[in-house]
């Protein structure tokens, strides 16, 4: 059973929303990191339709699999927009060395560092070109905190934040994103063999169903709600200390 809303209506809503927010900010368009996955493909496709050359798509490899860059280039070539590559590997290596070497960082810390480096480059390009940074996290990821705080969550706009993963895929098909990208196993490409669903411990289909209907096996429901509670700090504004004396 599908819980996806109509892809045509969703696309129209997203386009209007993006246009309004970019105009309100006095910006020219958007900048997006093109990972080779379906979420960033949808955001880039929308940006290209709305803003043309004022949509900057950046491929930002950092000890990444070559296939991811090839998939990103496939998206750009199929949909007819240009993209640029900024290799973050030397900068990452230098930072890791300065911190104390790879042995000083856990795998997760290193992965988060990569996400925050990508954010830094996206903002540098966006600011230089009067663009807004457009994040690619969808509702399923945000609900369980599957994103890096001040990394891929750091953006000016999050157009997919209200869409289930199945809805992102439906919009991708509507926009003409290559089937290979739509069917690709979701992964942040943070380390060899890493997949989203492997880390989460359940599939996006299960998560979509729970978010849409509230139904899941008791053990899965407990895990999802635990992830929600533990990641709440990621979705809240930074606490501000305001002395009242």
pLDDT digits (tens, 9 = 90+) for 17-35: 999 999 999 999 999 999 9
* Active site (catalytic) residues: 39, 141
Q: Is 184 inside a domain boundary?
A: yes
Q: What CATH number is given to the structural domain containing 227?
A: 3.40.50.620
> Which two structure tokens, joined as six digits, stand for 52?
């043309």
Higher per-residue pLDDT: 21 or 1? 21
Number of domains in the chain: 1
Alpha-carbon distance 173 to 164, whole Å? 14
> Is 111 a member of any domain?
yes
Cα torsion through 188, 197, 38, 6, rounded to 10:
-150
**pTM as predicted:** 0.94
Measure Cα distances from 28 to 24, 112, 163, 186, 238 in Å.
Answer: 10, 29, 25, 31, 28
Q: Which residues contact 161 (CB under 8 A, 6 or more apart)?
A: 135, 137, 138, 139, 142
Higher-scoring residue by pLDDT: 178, 191 = 178
Q: Identify whether 1 is part of a domain.
A: no
pLDDT at 193 over 80: no
Question: For residue 244, what is the DSSP state?
Answer: -
Domain range for 202 is 7-235
Spell 201-219 as b/e; 16+ CB within 10 A means b: ebebbbbbbbbbeeebeee
Q: How confident is the model at residue 104 (pLDDT cuts 50, 70, 90)?
A: confident
């Amino acid at each position: 059973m599908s819980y996806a809303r109509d892809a045509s209506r969703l696309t129209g809503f997203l386009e209007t929303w993006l246009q309004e927010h970019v105009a309100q900010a006095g910006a020219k368009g958007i900048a997006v990191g093109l990972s080779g996955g379906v979420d960033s493909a949808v955001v880039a496709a929308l940006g290209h339709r709305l803003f043309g050359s004022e949509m900057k798509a950046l491929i930002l490899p950092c000890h990444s699999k070559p296939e991811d860059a090839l998939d990103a280039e496939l998206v750009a070539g199929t949909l007819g927009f240009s993209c640029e590559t900024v290799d973050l590997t030397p900068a990452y290596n230098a930072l890791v060395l300065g911190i104390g070497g790879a042995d000083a960082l856990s795998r997760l810390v290193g992965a988060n560092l990569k996400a925050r480096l990508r954010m830094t480059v996206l903002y540098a390009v966006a600011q230089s070109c009067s663009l807004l940074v457009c994040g690619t996290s969808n509702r399923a990821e945000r609900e369980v905190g599957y994103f890096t705080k001040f990394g891929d969550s750091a953006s000016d706009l999050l157009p997919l934040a209200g869409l289930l993963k199945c809805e992102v895929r439906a919009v991708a098909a509507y926009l003409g994103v290559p089937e290979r990208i739509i069917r690709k196993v979701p992964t942040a490409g943070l380390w060899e063999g890493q997949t989203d669903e492997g880390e989460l411990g359940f599939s996006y289909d299960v998560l979509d169903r729970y978010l849409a209907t509230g139904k899941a096996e008791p053990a899965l429901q407990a895990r999802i709600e635990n992830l929600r509670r533990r990641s709440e700090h990621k979705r809240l504004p930074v606490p501000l200390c305001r002395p009242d004396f």
